Amino acid sequence: MKTAAATTIWFLGFALLGSACGRTPLLPPTCHLQVDPPAIDFGAVLPGDPLTHHVRVGNDGGALCTLTGIAISADSSGWFTLSAGTPESIAVPAGKTVELGVSFQPDAATAPFVRTGALLFASDAPGQAQVAVSLTGQVKSTCSLDVSPTAIDCGSVPIGMSPTSAVTLTNLGTGPCSVDGIAIAPGSDSQFYLSSPLPAPAALTLAPGRSGTVVVGFAASYRTPPHHRTGQLAMTSNDSDKPEITVALAADIDVGCELTWTPTQVDFGNVILNTETSANVTLSNGGTSVCEISGLAITADSDPDFALDDTQARSFSLAPATKVTISVLFTAADSSPPHSKTGTLVFQTGDTQNPEGQVPLSAYVSTVCIEASRWVYTVDKTGRFSRFDPSTLAFTDIGTLQCPGEFETPNSMAVDQNAVAWLNYQDGNLFKVDTSTGKCEATGFVPDQHNLLEFGMGFVFDPSTGDDTLYVAGTPSTYQTTQSTLATIVVPSLVLTPIGPVTAGNAELTGTGDGQLWGFVPDGASANGKSMLVRIDPATGKTIESYTYPSLISNGLNLTWAVKFWGGSFWIFFNDSIYQVSRDSPDTIHAALSNTGRYIVGAGVSTCAPLL
């Protein structure tokens, strides 16, 4: 059945195909247009001198083509016209060609010098219902302008002065030159101005061989950088070769000496008795001429512990765009009160706008601090007691703690100004440790006061009194790890007084040596599940400011942590790694040491340790 049906269909197709043999196609012939050229550029043409080009429209189709609506487009320049006698419609027989004449005749040499337009017509050719031939022509001017100079540099201009310079325009052509829109170009410095007595809007008309001037001024008014200012003088003309004319403008404001200094005040912080420290003040000349510095000195009413280095010149010259560093010394030589010391560094700047410079100085003499209190001390979960030097990232082991009657694991630690370590164990006992030997002794502290068994610890220094206060963040047990209570322990009575909840969580504490209380809370012990460095209000326990570190992730039950402030940075001991956070940029954390093999549970540093 499938074979028979296929045979029948083949014969039917053959019959239909055979019936069409010998007959002509059923589609009628059509016209088709060839337009040459598709666009006309007349080039440069003198005013009043018409130029004509022709467009050839050929019919290479098989039927008559009809062109209708032959015209110059309405948006074309009026200088384009059709040749006289051009009909609105034309019939083009098959195989024939017609020509359409288009003329370009400028009336005058005026801007814009390039004119455009289009020749349009409709047709009945398939796919060619609308045909457009683009037209372009340029006005050829007999004006020929010479501009001198093409750039103006006013040089160095003192504040308050207003020098001027002239730009000369000369017509070297055979026809008149029109110069319009003379102005200081947008975007130019506002201190450039046009001072010529020109009409508004500013314009000039120059006969052949004649010249005119445009006067530009610069009024130096602003002392603020940048001192190099730029602009442009702009205008238009009927010179077809220079339709847009610009003259570059430049000037340098001479502000003279302009002296600044940083820092504007110097605080040496806590300085250990019988030690010397220094701080730098940098003078910078941001002006355009030399600053003559003189009279550099510490004022007579300053504390005598402040001084300048003996090699420091008291008078010198500071060239523009240079700086010099002044070293100021402080020697903590006086142990008698008041321990707060003040002074003033003064100098004559040579800057007429700011002739005298003053830098207030301050320092605090720490009379109880000893040298051993300048280090960070650590204890790990095995009881290994060590000294850590952040400047070299080196540990020095002192010994293994053997506190009397103690069998639990160390929990936290703090160090006072006398370099005595105070160590809390997980059973709540508090011991004192000699940081030079690691020898441990009982204190008589009563554990679990106000149900605070374990606690993080940190001393906070009061600059007004020179005294330390021991703050703790306590918890009832190791199982309540996401909350703690801020409290103080008074020395020597060792009475614990609660203050309020630490809103950040179970924090390890540190003082900064200048009266602030901070804490570190790992993700496994924080109220929000994130590792944070927080500044804590010592009066309430509330968070004043906080910074999170997503890269610090705990590893379950083996979490150990501690934090201490030393040398301008917070040092975070997190499991067996150490991280550094600069106080100046607490959003950023840097890995200092990894895989130390030390799981630090307590760290202590005296408030005497370096602040910077």
* pLDDT of amino acid 2: 40
- Quickly list DSSP for 188-226: S-TTEEE-S---SS--EEE-TT-EEEEEEEE-----SSP
* pLDDT of amino acid 414: 95
- Quickly list DSSP for 492-560: TTTEEEEEEEETTBS-EEEE-SSS-EEEEE-GGGBTTSS-EEEEE-TTT--EEEEEE-TT----GGG--
* pLDDT of amino acid 28: 85
* pLDDT of amino acid 611: 59
**Could you tell me which of 494, 403, 398 has the C-alpha nearest to residue 440?**
403
- Strand order from edge to edge, sheet including 454-462: 454-462, 467-475, 484-490, 495-502
* pLDDT of amino acid 555: 76
* pLDDT of amino acid 11: 30
Phi, psi of 539 (to 5 degrees): -90, -20
Name the residue ranges covered by the structural domains of the chain. 33-139, 145-254, 259-366, 373-605
- pLDDT over threshold 80, residue 392: yes
- pLDDT over threshold 50, residue 14: no
* pLDDT of amino acid 328: 97
| Whether the Cβ atoms of residue 545 and residue 534 lie closer than 8 Å to each other | yes
- Separation CA 464–CA 479 (nearest Å): 39
Cβ neighbourhood burial of 381 (10 Å; 0-12, 13-18, 19+): middle
Query: 33-139 has which fold?
Result: Immunoglobulin-like (2.60.40)
Cα atoms in the 13 Å half-sphere on the side-chain side of 564: 33
Q: Is 308 helix (H, G, I), strand (E, B) or coil?
A: strand
Provide the token pair at 25. Answer: 């196609």
**Could you tell me which of 273, 335, 280, 330 has the C-alpha nearest to residue 306?**
330
* pLDDT of amino acid 612: 58
Confidence of residue 610 (pLDDT cuts 50, 70, 90): low
Lowest-pLDDT range of 49-53, 197-201, 243-247, 527-531: 197-201
CATH of domain 259-366: 2.60.40.10
Q: Please check whether the two domains, 33-139 and 373-605, share a CATH topology.
A: no
Task: Give the whole-number percent of the chain exceeding pLDDT 70.
Answer: 91
Lowest-pLDDT range of 17-21, 49-53, 168-172, 379-383: 17-21
**Comparing 369 with 309, which gets the higher pLDDT?**
309
Residues 6+ apart with CB under 8 A from 238: 109, 110, 111, 113, 141, 143, 176, 177, 178
- Quickly list DSSP for 268-294: EEEEETT-EEEEEEEEEE-SSS-EEEE
* pLDDT of amino acid 34: 96
* pLDDT of amino acid 16: 33
Select from 3.40.50.920, 3.40.605.10, 2.120.10.30, 3.40.50.2000 the CATH code of 373-605: 2.120.10.30
Q: Give the CA diameter of the chain.
A: 132
Lowest-pLDDT range of 159-168, 434-443, 451-460, 603-612: 603-612
CATH class label, 145-254: mainly beta
| Whether the Cβ atoms of residue 249 and residue 216 lie closer than 8 Å to each other | yes
Is the pTM higher than 0.75? The answer reads: no
| Whether the Cβ atoms of residue 99 and residue 90 lie closer than 8 Å to each other | no
- pLDDT over threshold 70, residue 9: no
* pLDDT of amino acid 589: 97
| Whether the Cβ atoms of residue 456 and residue 434 lie closer than 8 Å to each other | no
| Mean pLDDT (whole number) for 199-221 | 87
Query: What confidence tens digit (pLDDT) does each residue in 123-179 have?
Result: 999 999 999 999 999 888 888 999 999 999 999 999 999 999 999 999 999 888 889
- pLDDT over threshold 80, residue 62: yes
Provide the token pair at 561. Answer: 């942590």
Cβ neighbourhood burial of 244 (10 Å; 0-12, 13-18, 19+): exposed
Provide the token pair at 227. Answer: 């001192």
- pLDDT over threshold 70, residue 478: no
Confidence of residue 193 (pLDDT cuts 50, 70, 90): very high
For the chain, the C-alpha Rg in angstroms (whole number) is 46
| Whether the Cβ atoms of residue 89 and residue 120 lie closer than 8 Å to each other | no
* pLDDT of amino acid 368: 62
* pLDDT of amino acid 251: 97
Cis peptide before 338 (omega within 30 of 0): yes
- pLDDT over threshold 70, residue 245: yes
* pLDDT of amino acid 10: 29
Confidence of residue 229 (pLDDT cuts 50, 70, 90): very high
Task: Give the whole-number percent of the chain exceeding pLDDT 90.
Answer: 75
* pLDDT of amino acid 375: 81
- pLDDT over threshold 50, residue 323: yes
